[in-house]
Amino acid sequence: MRRAVASYLEAGRDIAQQAGALLMRYFERGVDYRLKGEFDLVTEADHASEALIIELLRSRFPTHAVVAEESGGAQAASPFCWYVDPLDGTTNFAHGFPVFCVSLALARDGELLCGVIFDPLHQELFEAERGAGARLNGRRIQVSAVGRLADSLAATGFPSRKRHLNVNVHFYYQMAMLSHGVRRAGSAA
């Protein structure tokens, strides 16, 4: 299975990088956005990236199911399912704020096997495999060794749904008061 997962990761890396290159073309020229729902933004770049990713996944793995943020998707009969966020950080992207990425993950029978996150602006490729750790541009990475919140720098995000904002602001404040600080860049990845 490890050899198969390695081939899935290789495909995920390639596909995420192709989608990232496409996103950069949109980012450099700027895009308009529209609302999907009450608070969530969507752009032409979201749809173009998703279409490319789905096309590439289906050409390489025609029996795998794909669930994507914009088009949804149903679970196919396959035990394998790709989960796709073609533009993680759409609000940032739409406003020209340079924090966004492409996120892909593969599950088998509901258990995550591997995932890839590509930041095309900084050319950072994160990948992880169940039981094998995580890497950034091929180099192993790990969580901070800091053992106390008071000695840490935290990162977080807020959901786009504003109805929970007061609770999140309260927790953000508490974290800021108990740590070296809190950063909020806007992309969940």
The CATH number of the domain holding residue 132 is: 3.30.540.10
In a shared domain, residues 126 and 155? no
In a shared domain, residues 135 and 165? no
> With 70 as the cut, is the pLDDT of residue 75 above it?
no
Per-residue pLDDT reduced to its tens digit, 112-159: 999 999 999 999 999 999 999 999 999 999 988 998 989 888 887 766
Greater confidence, 155 or 7? 7
In this prediction, residue 165 carries a pLDDT of 62
Q: Over pLDDT 90: what percentage of the chain?
A: 59
> With 80 as the cut, is the pLDDT of residue 187 above it?
no
Show Cβ contacts of residue 38 under 8 Å, excluding neighbours closer than 6 positions: 161
In a domain, 62, yes or no: yes
In a shared domain, residues 53 and 125? yes
In a shared domain, residues 90 and 36? yes
SS3 13: helix
> What DSSP state is assigned to residue 117?
E
In a shared domain, residues 6 and 27? yes
45 φ, ψ (degrees, to nearest 5): -65, -40
- CA 145, chain centre distance (Å): 24
In a shared domain, residues 126 and 158? no
Helices 2-29, 44-60: crossing angle, 10 deg rounding: 150
In this prediction, residue 134 carries a pLDDT of 96
Residue identified by tokens 């490729």 is 125
> With 90 as the cut, is the pLDDT of residue 18 above it?
yes
Domain region containing 179: 149-184
Q: What is the signed CA dihedral for 108, 112, 113, 118, rounded to 10 degrees? A: 130
In a domain, 72, yes or no: yes
In a domain, 119, yes or no: yes
In a shared domain, residues 110 and 163? no
Per-residue pLDDT reduced to its tens digit, 21-39: 999 999 999 888 888 777 6
SS3 113: strand
Closest of 131, 152, 126 to residue 141, by C-alpha: 126
> With 80 as the cut, is the pLDDT of residue 163 above it?
no
- Domain total of the chain: 2
In a shared domain, residues 101 and 158? no
In this prediction, residue 174 carries a pLDDT of 83
In a domain, 189, yes or no: no
> With 90 as the cut, is the pLDDT of residue 96 above it?
yes
In angstroms, the CA 86 to CA 118 distance is 10
57-96 burial, b for 16+ CB within 10 Å, e for fewer?
A: beeebeebbbbbbbeebeeeeeebbbbbbbbbbbbbbbee
In a domain, 29, yes or no: yes
Give the amino acid at 48: A
What mean pLDDT comes out for the span 79-104?
94
In this prediction, residue 164 carries a pLDDT of 58
In a shared domain, residues 8 and 90? yes
Query: Which H/E stretch holds residue 10?
Result: helix 2-29
In angstroms, the CA 179 to CA 154 distance is 7
